């Protein structure tokens, strides 16, 4: 099944495959979310047929999810009393009365305005004997009347929240901004169908008999649904600004810019659907997807959002592994408060490693403080490549130069049967690395050394790996707060041009490598080509450059000739 978004007056529903999720704001102003399964329907990729599915399944699911919303808006039994039951019955009666009034007014509008008025005005403008021109004028008038009706609804107060949730759902689903949203959404589709079918059916103006007219017009209506969908489907994939501006004629009718709360509620529904959280709600319980949505809002606003960070915050507060998050049914208000407090600290630039005092690196818990550089996700890629090379070549010894917290050395030792040596110029950093090695049960040889100075020339290694300082001295103060205020400058300062340590390591490494030994580096943005050139000039061969998760050249390695 395709992805669906269905707006409500106080929430939004997401549907994908055989699952749906519904997030809304209840009568007490609390954010709620629930999920379930829907019957799978095949044929979503069948040309023309998919338009009918989208239209009718959308209406059915809309009604079904409204019932789910009513059910989840109900109070717990211990809070129910006679006055509540009476108020609930009045509410249901009012809803049905409103529905009846809407149907009646729609029928009255169709009979008087679309029928009588359109024909009356057309008769005054064009001679009735000119059938085709008369039908064309009637079609234009009826379409215009319907458009004006939708336009009037847009400015009705009771429709405002409905239209805001419509756009909020689309923004969250497609990841588009307010100004770049696609035209293919359910409400816009319904409007297009109404306008298009009214114009075409009025233009053709079938007149055989009452029964024949009904079935012919019904067939035309179904055909026009299919055509409308295919047109919108094509327009949705078009990147032309002109086409997007043209679609604004109808999207304007069904969309209003959402506020932060409406975006968060819509994001709740998406998170619930993607992660399959299982929520059960009590008086003091908070949906997990609601907390994730709030974390995402805070961190994105501060341009600090990483999904792994959100997982890490929740897992730490709940004292569980990241893989167990999906099993969490709900949170208490105190847990929510603590999670959001940490998210606020992260949004202000404080790294999670500083907040929690450790990072999860290659499956190991690595303690960190201001004496060592917090290992990044990119460094896991470097470590992974080193481990692959060790296992493939069956290497026997490795040196982790500028080890810092010892994260790389520990990961290698835990995953390979190999002798591991780790060195750093900082005595404080080595103390942290030794503590980490002990805590993770990794037997590593540590040495305090300014690069290779403390090593005897007879000491040789099969592989040397290093993530040295590579920031230009003049740019350290320009770094983000989470780096310059929490990482030691000694682990950041790479000299005047950022290549000071690369030059020294490449120059001296051949003296400490066995024959055909390997040298691995992590490098900064835009440094890969220069480091590769330095290695080539230093008699290294088979030099390779690899990208990180963001397609940035991050790893450079080669073999001594």
pLDDT value for 488? 60
pLDDT value for 261? 86
pLDDT value for 204? 85
pLDDT value for 86? 43
pLDDT value for 80? 44
pLDDT confidence band for 109 (50 / 70 / 90): low
What b/e readout covers 33-70, taking b as 16+ CB neighbours within 10 angstroms? bbbeebeeeeeeeeeeebbbbbbebbeebeebbbebbe
Q: Are residues 111 and 237 in the same domain?
A: yes
Instruction: Decide: 465 and 520 in contact? Cβ < 8 Å.
Output: yes
Residue 308 has pLDDT above 90, yes or no: no
Is the residue at 127 inside a domain? yes
Q: What angle do CA 496, 502, 508 make, to 5 degrees?
A: 125
Lowest mean pLDDT among 71-75, 476-480, 482-486: 71-75
Paired strand residues for 6: 13
Q: Are residues 436 and 482 in the same domain?
A: yes
Q: Are residues 311 and 249 in the same domain?
A: no
pLDDT value for 492? 63
CATH code where residue 291 lies: 1.10.8.10
Phi, psi of 39 (to 5 degrees): -65, 130
- Closest C-alpha among 265, 122, 106, 251 to residue 187: 251
Tell me how crowded residue 82 is: count the other CB atoms within 10 A of its CB.
Answer: 7
* Token pair in block for residue 25: 């704001």
Is the residue at 42 inside a domain? no
Mean pLDDT calculated for residue range 96-100: 51
Chain centre to alpha carbon of residue 270: 9
Tell me the pLDDT of the chain averaged across its residues: 80
Number of domains in the chain: 3
Q: Are residues 416 and 482 in the same domain?
A: yes
For residue 480, what are the contacts with CB-CB under 8 A and spacing of at least 6?
Answer: 349
Chain centre to alpha carbon of residue 385: 28
Is the residue at 286 inside a domain? yes
Residue 408 has pLDDT above 80, yes or no: yes
> What pTM was computed for the model?
0.62
Tell me how crowded residue 319 is: count the other CB atoms within 10 A of its CB.
Answer: 7
Residue 285 has pLDDT above 80, yes or no: no
pLDDT confidence band for 534 (50 / 70 / 90): very high
Q: Are residues 292 and 342 in the same domain?
A: yes
SS (H, E, C) 373-439: CCCCHHHHHHHHHHHHHHHHHCCCEEEEECCCCCHHHHHHHHHCCCEEEEEECCHHHHHHHHHHHHH
pLDDT value for 83? 43
Is the residue at 269 inside a domain? no
Chain centre to alpha carbon of residue 464: 38
pLDDT value for 105? 58
Residues listed for the chain: 561
pLDDT confidence band for 96 (50 / 70 / 90): very low
Percentage of the chain modeled with pLDDT above 90: 23
* Token pair in block for residue 341: 């407090």
Q: Are residues 120 and 180 in the same domain?
A: yes
User: CA 379 to CA 411: how far, in whole Å?
Assistant: 11
Is the residue at 147 inside a domain? yes
- Closest C-alpha among 457, 369, 359 to residue 408: 359
Paired strand residues for 448: 424
* Token pair in block for residue 240: 């032309």
Helices marked H in 465-527: 481-484, 500-508
SS3 (DSSP) at 464: strand
Q: Are residues 120 and 195 in the same domain?
A: yes
DSSP code per residue over 16-56: ETTEEEEEEE-TTS-EEEEEEE------TTSTTHHHHHHHH
For residue 250, what are the contacts with CB-CB under 8 A and spacing of at least 6?
Answer: 183, 188, 191, 192, 195
Question: Structural domain of residue 291, as residue ranges?
Answer: 277-348
For residue 471, what are the contacts with CB-CB under 8 A and spacing of at least 6?
Answer: 479, 492, 493, 494, 498, 524
Distances 68 to 61, 273, 486 between C-alpha atoms, Å: 10, 15, 48
Q: Are residues 211 and 94 in the same domain?
A: yes
Q: Are residues 320 and 382 in the same domain?
A: no
Q: State the Rg of the chain over Cα.
A: 32
Is the residue at 44 inside a domain? no
Residue 55 has pLDDT above 80, yes or no: yes
Q: Are residues 90 and 167 in the same domain?
A: yes
Reading across the β-sheet that carries 461-466, which strands appear in turn? 445-448, 419-424, 397-401, 461-466, 513-522, 553-560, 540-547
pLDDT value for 108? 54
pLDDT tens, position by position, 315-336: 888 888 777 777 777 788 888 8
Q: Are residues 416 and 485 in the same domain?
A: yes
CATH code where residue 385 lies: 3.40.50.150
Q: Are residues 450 and 397 in the same domain?
A: yes
Is the residue at 334 inside a domain? yes
The domain boundary, picked from 289, 316, 348, lies at: 348
Is the residue at 199 inside a domain? yes
Quick one: DSSP state of residue 471? B
SS3 (DSSP) at 175: coil
Residue 510 has pLDDT above 90, yes or no: yes
pLDDT confidence band for 252 (50 / 70 / 90): confident
């Amino acid at each position: 099944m395709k992805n669906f978004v269905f707006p409500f007056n106080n929430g939004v529903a997401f549907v994908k495959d055989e699952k749906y999720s519904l997030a809304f704001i209840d009568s007490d102003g609390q954010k709620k979310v629930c999920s379930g399964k829907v019957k799978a329907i095949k044929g979503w990729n069948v040309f023309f047929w998919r338009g009918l599915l989208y239209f009718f399944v959308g209406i059915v699911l809309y009604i079904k999810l409204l019932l789910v919303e009513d059910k989840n808006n109900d109070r717990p039994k211990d809070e129910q009393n006679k006055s509540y039951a009476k108020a609930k019955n009045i509410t249901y009666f009012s809803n049905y009365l409103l529905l009846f009034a809407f149907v009646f007014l729609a029928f009255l509008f169709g009979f008087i305005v679309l029928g009588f008025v359109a024909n009356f005005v057309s008769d005054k403008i064009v001679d009735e004997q000119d059938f085709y021109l008369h039908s064309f004028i009637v079609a234009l008038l009826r379409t215009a009347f319907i458009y004006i009706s939708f336009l009037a609804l847009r400015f009705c107060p009771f429709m405002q929240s409905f239209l805001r949730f419509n756009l909020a759902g689309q923004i969250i689903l497609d990841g588009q901004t307010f100004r770049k949203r696609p035209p293919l959404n359910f409400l816009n589709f319904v409007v297009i169908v109404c306008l298009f079918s009214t114009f075409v059916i009025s233009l053709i103006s079938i007149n055989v008999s009452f029964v024949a007219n009904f079935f012919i017009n019904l067939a035309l209506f179904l055909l026009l649904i299919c055509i409308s969908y295919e047109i919108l489907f094509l327009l949705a994939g078009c990147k032309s600004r002109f086409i997007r501006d043209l679609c604004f004629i109808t999207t304007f009718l069904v969309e209003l810019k959402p506020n932060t709360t409406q975006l968060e509620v819509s994001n709740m529904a998406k998170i619930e659907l993607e992660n399959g959280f299982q929520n059960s709600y009590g008086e003091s319980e908070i949906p997990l997807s609601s907390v994730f949505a709030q974390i995402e809002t805070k961190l994105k606003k501060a341009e600090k959002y990483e999904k792994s960070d959100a997982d890490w915050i929740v897992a730490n507060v709940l004292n569980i592994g990241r893989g167990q998050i999906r099993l969490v049914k709900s949170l208490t208000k105190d847990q929510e408060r603590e999670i959001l407090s940490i998210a606020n600290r992260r949004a202000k630039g404080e790294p999670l490693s500083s907040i929690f005092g450790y990072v999860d690196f290659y499956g190991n818990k690595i303690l960190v403080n201001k004496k060592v550089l917090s290992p990044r996700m990119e460094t896991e890629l470097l470590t992974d490549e080193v481990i692959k090379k060790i296992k493939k070549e069956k290497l026997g010894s490795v040196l982790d130069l500028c080890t810092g917290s010892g994260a790389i050395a520990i990961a290698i030792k835990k995953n390979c049967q190999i002798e591991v040596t780790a060195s750093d110029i900082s005595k404080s950093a080595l103390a942290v690395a030794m503590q980490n090695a002990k805590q993770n049960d990794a037997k590593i040889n540590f040495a305090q050394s300014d690069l290779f100075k403390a090593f005897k020339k007879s000491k040789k290694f099969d592989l040397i790996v290093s993530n040295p300082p590579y920031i230009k001295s003049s740019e350290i103060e320009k770094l983000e707060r989470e780096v310059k205020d929490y990482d030691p400058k000694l682990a950041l300062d790479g000299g005047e041009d950022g290549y000071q340590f690369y030059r020294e390591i490449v120059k001296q490494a051949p003296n400490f490598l066995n024959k055909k030994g390997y040298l691995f580096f992590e490098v900064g943005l835009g440094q890969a080509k220069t480091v590769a050139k330095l290695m080539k000039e230093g008699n290294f061969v088979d030099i390779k450059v690899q990208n990180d998760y963001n397609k940035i050249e991050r790893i450079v390695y080669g073999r001594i000739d």
